[in-house]
Structure 1
Amino acid sequence: MSSESFHGADLVVETLAAEGVTHVFGLPGTTIMELIDALGRHAAVRYLSTRHEQVAGFMADGFSRAGGPLGVCLASRGPGAANLAIAVQNAHDESVPLLALVGQVPQSISHRGSFEDMNVVSAFAPMCKWAVEITEPDRIPELLQRAVRAVVSGRPGPVVVSLPLDVLQAPAQAGPGPRVRVYPPAPDPRGIAEAAGLLAAAERPVIIVGGGGTGAPDAVLALAETAGAPVVSTWLRKNAVPNSHPAFLGALGYGAHDVTDRIVREADVVVALGCRFSEFTTKRWSLVPPSARLVHADVDPGELGRVYPPSVGLVSDAGAAARSLAEALGPLVADDPGRAERRTARRVELRKEFDEVSAPPPEATPDKGTVSSAALVRAVQGLAEREGIVLVQDVHTFGPWVARHVHVDRPRSYYGSAGGAMAWGFPAAMGMALARPGERIVTLSGDGSFWMVAQDFETCVREGIDVLTVVVNNFSYGNTRDRQRFAHDERYQGVFLGNPDFAEYARLLGGHGIRVTSDAALRPAVEEALATPGPCIVDIIQDRMEGLPYGLTPPRAR
């Protein structure tokens, strides 16, 4: 490409490629046509068009979350940028690395109220790690590479880059610099020694693993075995360690078993690894007892003491902290074997209780033409145990059934959204399928969530994205319905829906579709879906009042 034909848009693509980006997800628009054209002329980065910018953002989220290169989404000015906001906010809440590129009006007409003009930096700054507008083409490598470093360094999260049209169109001379990554910090040895002393003296310790610790299961379990301590995960992070390991005692948050909560309530020492102490995980910040001594490790120093003041705060990668703490704790445990034996014996008894309550629910007799949640739990458990299957849990009423009764052992085989954004699951699964093409991605979505983004099933067919979507279809916004049931004397307003035949919808768009209306037909339908290549929807018909597991009520709005 001659220097005369090399423009800012080309420089953006070359910089993305230098940073290891392989996919960009977006929707065409006026201010990004130069960039889409440049993507088409550069083979290193693949561009995929979606039917909505929200889907593009969630695809980038899933692509990053599943271990692919950095997920990048692209939208044009004004409304297109606003449509990305849900995905950016969700990535910020969940510490997911995501780069959002937003086209902007030319600088020559900015701040005049021109068509779809929007202050991108001001709009996105509260919901991302950094928002920046690039105003000179030759500064594209500098600022775009800095943006990528900000995305992946420390606590990961989204960064938004605004690209004015005239910057993308202007001739450019610069080139990208070397790819630079900052390694996470290791814990201070003095803090480790103090933390090991606290843990060695504990009678009822517990290890809480959050999203920041999910990548180091071996280190977490080594610490748990050395300490004789139980391990619980934060909300929707139950894949932090293999659930069959005797140290694992469940996931906290909405749907947690009483025994899982009680382990934390009774703790005298809490070791929190990559944990933010969110509202759901901590039962609205009431779970951790004031008397407990807290050892808190996180890469973000701002998290230490933000909710609970730690006795020992470690600015550290969670896995590195767990490994160092296990090494320091070993000799101290050897000096007091009786205490270690008591801790381990207590954990064994707690695990027996957990095994009883987390066993599959008893078989049910659903109304004719519907599928019971108990049967669905068994089917999902079968999927969780199969090699090559990745489960993606959307925000839906069936979620607490998964939290209570589905056990996950294989690493990187289960993902759930704790950011609260409905409709995350299906698009995130699309991104995951592209990041991990050798595996089958299976999404569990409610009908309310799925129908928000169902138009992009066409994108799956067009682009050959092999996603199996299980729609748990109770013809309602189930979470809100249950709150109206328990907190508003069954005065139901705006929660019951009219849905199409989702299986027929899948076939209409060129995919595969199966509708299931009985427990007996569920497993054969799942097997047929798994055996059929290409995108597929399994439409699971439930009673419109089918909801939470027995004895569980939704938290009241406060």
Structure 2
Amino acid sequence: MKVTDVLVQCLENEGVEYVFGIPGKEILDLVDSLSRSHQIQFVNVRHEQGAAFMADVYGRLSNKVGVCLSTLGPGATNLLTGISSAKLDHSPVVVITGQAAFERQHKESHQYLDMAKVFEPATKWSIQIKDSQRIPEIIRKAFRVARMEKPGPVAIELPENLASQMISSNPLPITPVPESIPVMESINDALTLMQQYKKPLVIIGNGVVRQEAVAELHPFIEALQAPVIHSFMAKGVLPQHHPLNFFTFGFNEKDEVSAVIKEADLLIVIGFDFVEKLPKEWNKKKLPIIHLDAIPAEMDEYYPVQVELVGNIKQTLRIINQLDIPTKSWVPFGNLQEKIKQSYQIEEIQKDLNSLPLTIENILHIIEKLSSMNTIVISDVGAHKVSIARTYQPRQPKRLIISNGLASMGIAIPGSIGAKLACPGATVICITGDGGALMNFSEIETAKRLGLSFIIIVINDSILKLEQETMNKMFGKSYGIMFQNPDFVQLATSFGVIGRRVNHVAEFENTLKEALCRSNELVIIDVTL
């Protein structure tokens, strides 16, 4: 059997449904093998960066590993931004790239770069296949490593001289990743510490969502009765109106939630990733910490761990919930929860829509009002991302996708394709600025070709607003942040999709209602601010 046929069998064995990428000479054997698969659909995209973003979001939402593919050289380097994003956001991804034949890797050669080395800092494991008989081992290890906590991307490089070789290998059986739990001594130490302090605060990170531990988290919170805050990527762990929900922290400015951290005397940190916000920025008092996560705590002066509970978060919380959790009811000073709601504009202002300004916050309130439990909102990076992190309240976890590790502009449109393929029954709403939109606007053709339906909201203000605000504060002026946009409605029409332009809040609500009714069509809404 041809090497690439065996490789595809291994991918099928791992449950792969989609491979995102662009064909190129060095991977044509692999694309040919994919063409004969009855399980895997090869999704030909318009830019390799888009392929990586699609694999990233697909991996986050599907409970599977996202897979992307490119040829050597520029195809592989184009993947790098999306792969780096998956690394820092802890998304399970396997990337397969072509490579020059062995006989030309020792000298300067057309399109040759040592991509296994280039990918090393952006992946959990990066490897070149040197022996085609080892493909089943490499693929099995790649998927296992990609899924293990903390999840992330793995890169595999296939030299072209191996692709058409004939081998007789078979896929390896899939075995579950072992789960561990903390020893009971550590769990008891944690409960003792909770008993000793008067004002514990629970901090929730994306690890709780990744390990599907939200259902186990709720009984713990109800028993402890202490305030709860969460990171950008953990939004949805508590309902908006839960009395212990003190919302999102981690902002560079106007972080009203930081007041509850200052008042606390013990931090119970569950599944938090430092990549979202370093402890130095939020634990300035160096409060003692109970660390509950799948891996040991990173050493940090501002993260003084007193007890480490290292193991599967879901299983650890299940054990804790069977024990005597101390009740530590306390309310932060000064009606803080209401102050946060007002400052972050979390609750909709009850006014006539015609009297409201067209702001991102008012747009978000309308999206919340018209959304269902299953609606997925994907945010691109920019000033609107900060507003979404503050204001928007998803009804459940994994229904707001925010890139907060690498925080790369351009993720939202290709990410929406990954989301729709992972969750075909869900309504997907993409919110992007005009800067991020045009980075990967070409992937609208991919979505149209695939027959996907979702809504793209383009915040159109012809400016990099976040950079403008930052420069004005730093220098009293801004520079290099203005640009001109195409007519997004005409651009949508040129792709064969529906385009609408809105200038008022009431107009946006009516347009969004119309778009939601068009469940089988792709709709672009140009929101001109």
Normalization by structure 1: what TM-score?
0.89
SS in 2 for 1:66: helix
> What is the identity, as a one-letter code, of the residue corresponding to 2:516?
L
1:405 to partner: Cα distance: 2.2
SS in 2 for 1:25: strand
Asked if 1 retains the 8 angstrom alpha-carbon contact of 2:269 and 2:290, the reply is: yes
Shifted more, 257-266 versus 56-65: the winner is: 257-266
SS in 1 for 2:110: coil
- Give the distance between the partners of 2:300 and 2:324, measured in 1 at CA: 24
1:111 to partner: Cα distance: 2.1
Shifted more, 31-40 versus 111-120: the winner is: 111-120
Asked if 2 retains the 8 angstrom alpha-carbon contact of 1:186 and 1:317, the reply is: yes
1:19 to partner: Cα distance: 0.8
Q: In the superposition, relative to structure 1, how do residues 307 and 479 fare at CA in structure 2: closer, same or farther (>3 Å)? A: same
Matched residue, 1:245:
242
Matched residue, 2:516:
530
Matched residue, 1:232:
229
Matched residue, 1:57:
52
Matched residue, 1:197:
192
- Give the distance between the partners of 2:308 and 2:416, measured in 1 at CA: 36
Is the aligned partner of 1:28 residue 2:23?
A: yes
1:320 to partner: Cα distance: 2.7
1:295 to partner: Cα distance: 0.6
1:328 to partner: Cα distance: 3.0
Q: In the superposition, relative to structure 1, how do residues 517 and 352 fare at CA in structure 2: closer, same or farther (>3 Å)? A: closer
Matched residue, 1:103:
98
What does the per-residue CA deviation read over 1:483-515, in whole Å, with 9 as the maximum and x for residues that have no partner? 12221212x322111111212211111111111
> What is the identity, as a one-letter code, of the residue corresponding to 1:506?
A
- Give the distance between the partners of 2:70 and 2:364, measured in 1 at CA: 38
Aligned equivalent of 1:394, options 346, 362, 380: 380
Is the aligned partner of 1:483 residue 2:470?
A: yes
1:374 to partner: Cα distance: 4.0
- Give the distance between the partners of 1:425 and 1:184, measured in 2 at CA: 33
Aligned equivalent of 1:470, options 457, 467, 481: 457
Is the aligned partner of 1:310 residue 2:297?
A: no
Normalization by structure 2: what TM-score?
0.93
1:126 to partner: Cα distance: 1.1
1:362 to partner: Cα distance: 5.3
Asked if 2 retains the 8 angstrom alpha-carbon contact of 1:256 and 1:404, the reply is: no
> What is the identity, as a one-letter code, of the residue corresponding to 1:454?
F
Matched residue, 1:548:
none
Is the aligned partner of 1:540 residue 2:518?
A: no
Aligned equivalent of 1:461, options 408, 426, 448: 448
Matched residue, 2:135:
140
Matched residue, 2:289:
294
Is the aligned partner of 1:182 residue 2:184?
A: no
Q: In the superposition, relative to structure 1, how do residues 323 and 458 fare at CA in structure 2: closer, same or farther (>3 Å)? A: same
Is the aligned partner of 1:90 residue 2:85?
A: yes
Matched residue, 2:220:
223
What does the per-residue CA deviation read over 1:253-273, in whole Å, with 9 as the maximum and x for residues that have no partner? 127865411111222111111
- Give the distance between the partners of 1:307 and 1:86, measured in 2 at CA: 30
- Give the distance between the partners of 2:158 and 2:237, measured in 1 at CA: 38
1:225 to partner: Cα distance: 1.5
- Give the distance between the partners of 1:197 and 1:132, measured in 2 at CA: 46
Q: In the superposition, relative to structure 1, how do residues 440 and 294 fare at CA in structure 2: closer, same or farther (>3 Å)? A: same
- Give the distance between the partners of 1:422 and 1:363, measured in 2 at CA: 33
> What is the identity, as a one-letter code, of the residue corresponding to 1:122?
K
What does the per-residue CA deviation read over 1:430-457, in whole Å, with 9 as the maximum and x for residues that have no partner? 1010011111111111110010000110
Is the aligned partner of 1:442 residue 2:437?
A: no
Shifted more, 163-172 versus 302-311: the winner is: 302-311
What does the per-residue CA deviation read over 1:390-419, in whole Å, with 9 as the maximum and x for residues that have no partner? 111111211222222222223332111102
- Give the distance between the partners of 2:419 and 2:471, measured in 1 at CA: 35
Asked if 2 retains the 8 angstrom alpha-carbon contact of 1:234 and 1:281, the reply is: no
Matched residue, 2:112:
117
- Give the distance between the partners of 1:364 and 1:471, measured in 2 at CA: 25
Is the aligned partner of 1:67 residue 2:62?
A: yes
Shifted more, 259-268 versus 33-42: the winner is: 259-268
Matched residue, 1:545:
none
- Give the distance between the partners of 1:11 and 1:265, measured in 2 at CA: 57
What does the per-residue CA deviation read over 1:169-196, in whole Å, with 9 as the maximum and x for residues that have no partner? 1111111010122133212211110011
Aligned equivalent of 2:414, options 427, 452, 476: 427
Q: In the superposition, relative to structure 1, how do residues 192 and 350 fare at CA in structure 2: closer, same or farther (>3 Å)? A: farther
- Give the distance between the partners of 2:296 and 2:483, measured in 1 at CA: 45
> What is the identity, as a one-letter code, of the residue corresponding to 2:319?
S
Is the aligned partner of 1:261 residue 2:258?
A: yes
SS in 2 for 1:398: helix
Q: In the superposition, relative to structure 1, how do residues 345 and 261 fare at CA in structure 2: closer, same or farther (>3 Å)? A: closer
Asked if 1 retains the 8 angstrom alpha-carbon contact of 2:262 and 2:285, the reply is: no
CA RMSD of aligned residues (A): 2.4
What does the per-residue CA deviation read over 1:227-261, in whole Å, with 9 as the maximum and x for residues that have no partner? 11111111342123323222211111127865411
Matched residue, 1:554:
none
Q: In the superposition, relative to structure 1, how do residues 311 and 68 fare at CA in structure 2: closer, same or farther (>3 Å)? A: closer
- Give the distance between the partners of 1:374 and 1:121, measured in 2 at CA: 44
Asked if 2 retains the 8 angstrom alpha-carbon contact of 1:206 and 1:269, the reply is: yes
Q: In the superposition, relative to structure 1, how do residues 353 and 326 fare at CA in structure 2: closer, same or farther (>3 Å)? A: farther
- Give the distance between the partners of 2:401 and 2:278, measured in 1 at CA: 16
Number of residue equivalences: 524
SS in 2 for 1:17: helix
Asked if 1 retains the 8 angstrom alpha-carbon contact of 2:379 and 2:402, the reply is: yes
What does the per-residue CA deviation read over 1:20-57, in whole Å, with 9 as the maximum and x for residues that have no partner? 11110001111111100100011111100000000000
> What is the identity, as a one-letter code, of the residue corresponding to 1:179?
I
What does the per-residue CA deviation read over 1:273-301, in whole Å, with 9 as the maximum and x for residues that have no partner? 1112346464xx13214452201122122
Identity of aligned residues (%): 27
Aligned equivalent of 1:131, options 126, 130, 134: 126
